[in-house]
């Protein structure tokens, strides 16, 4: 019987996994935003697809720090915000609101996963728990 009390490193691993799960949902919202912009024929940076894929891989692998993944997601968010805000009928506030909910816990997560494109991208993100 294992009666060990979790140590600080165990708590940190749990916290980092929780943040990575939130980042996976944030990534899904960003990917859905990119899809919405493409449907509106908004010009996007040529490297946006590779930025999204790189962030997805880093998030799913669990081999990168939450800081590094967060920086990648912030860069993607900036690109999408810039592209969307340059249009006459932008939806920046709507998408930024969804991104805020992505970083919340509980009911907000469930609400976001009811959006079909977000749910689709979240399922494809591949985030898993630690299997060490």
Reference 55, options 39, 42, 72; nearest CA is 72
Q: What is the pLDDT of residues 72-124, one digit of tens each?
A: 999 999 999 999 999 999 999 999 999 998 888 777 777 777 778 887 777 77
Indicate the domain borders of the chain: 15-125
Contacts of residue 40, defined as CB under 8 A and 6 or more positions apart, other chains included, come to 87
Long-range contacts of 47-55 (CB under 8 A, 24+ apart): 48/76, 48/79, 48/80, 51/75, 51/76, 51/79, 52/27, 52/76, 55/27, 55/30
**Could you tell me the pLDDT band of residue 64, with boundaries at 50, 70 and 90?**
confident
Tell me how long the chain is. 132
Distance CA 113, CA 85 (A): 25
Q: What is the mean pLDDT of residues 66-76?
A: 93
Instruction: Count the neighbouring beta carbons within 10 Å of the beta carbon of residue 87.
Output: 14
- pLDDT at residue 50 is higher than 70: yes
Using the Cα atoms of residue 117, residue 62, residue 22 and residue 53 in order, give the sign of their dihedral. Answer: negative
Q: What is the pLDDT of residues 34-49, one digit of tens each?
A: 999 999 999 999 999 9
Q: Give the residue with greater pLDDT, 34 vs 5.
A: 34
- pLDDT at residue 8 is higher than 60: no
């Amino acid at each position: 019987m294992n009666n060990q009390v979790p140590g600080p490193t165990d708590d940190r691993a749990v916290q980092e996994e929780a943040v990575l799960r939130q980042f996976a949902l944030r990534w899904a919202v960003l990917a859905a935003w990119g899809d919405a912009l493409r449907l509106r024929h908004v010009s996007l940076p040529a490297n946006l697809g590779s930025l999204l894929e790189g962030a997805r891989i880093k998030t799913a692998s669990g081999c990168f720090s939450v800081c590094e993944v967060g920086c990648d997601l912030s860069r993607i968010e900036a690109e999408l915000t810039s592209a969307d805000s340059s249009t006459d009928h932008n939806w920046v506030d709507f998408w930024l609101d969804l991104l805020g909910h992505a970083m919340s816990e509980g009911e907000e997560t469930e609400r976001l996963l009811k959006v079909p494109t977000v749910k689709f991208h979240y399922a494809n993100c591949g985030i898993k728990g630690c299997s060490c």
